[in-house]
Chain A
Amino acid sequence: MSTTLDVSIWRGRDDGRFVHYEVPRRDSQTVLDVVTHVQRQLDPTLSYRFACRVGMCGSCAMTVNGQARWTCRTHVSKVVGSDGRLEVAPLAHLPVIKDLATDMSGFFDKWARAQGQFSGSRTRHDEFARVQPASAERQAADAGIECIGCAVCYASCDVVAQRPDYLGPAALNRAWTLVNDERDTRQTERLRAVAGDAGCHACHTQGSCTERCPKQISPTQSIAGLKRTVARAAIRGKL
Chain B
Amino acid sequence: MNGASASHALGVAQARRWYWQRISAMVLALCVLGHLAVMIYAVRGGLTGAEILGRTQGHWGFALFYGTFVLACSVHVPLGLASIAREWLGMGETAALWLARAFGVLLLVSGLRAVVAVFTAGL
Residues of A within 8 A of B (CB): 159, 162-163, 192, 195-197, 199, 201, 204, 227, 230-231, 233-235, 239
Interface membership of B120, Cβ < 8 A: no
B86 neighbours in A (Cβ, 8 Å): 162-163
A192 neighbours in B (Cβ, 8 Å): 8, 11
Instruction: With both chains docked as a complex, state the minimum distance between the C-beta of A49 and any C-beta of chain B, in angstroms.
Output: 30
B68 neighbours in A (Cβ, 8 Å): none
| Cα-based distance from A231 to B19 in the complex (angstroms) | 6
Considering only CB atoms and an 8 Å cut-off, how many residues of chain B contact the other chain? 16
Interface of B (DSSP majority class): helix
Asked if B19 and A159 sit within 8 Å, CB to CB, the answer is no
| Cα-based distance from A231 to B11 in the complex (angstroms) | 10
Instruction: With both chains docked as a complex, state the minimum distance between the C-beta of A73 and any C-beta of chain B, in angstroms.
Output: 32
Interface membership of B1, Cβ < 8 A: no
B17's partner among A163, A201, A233, A239 (CB-CB below 8 A) is: A201
Q: A231-B18, A234-B19, A235-B19 are in contact. Are A195 and B11 (CB under 8 A)?
A: yes
Q: Which 10 A-B pairs have the closest CB atoms?
A: A195-B11, A234-B15, A196-B11, A162-B87, A201-B18, A231-B19, A234-B12, A231-B15, A201-B14, A230-B15
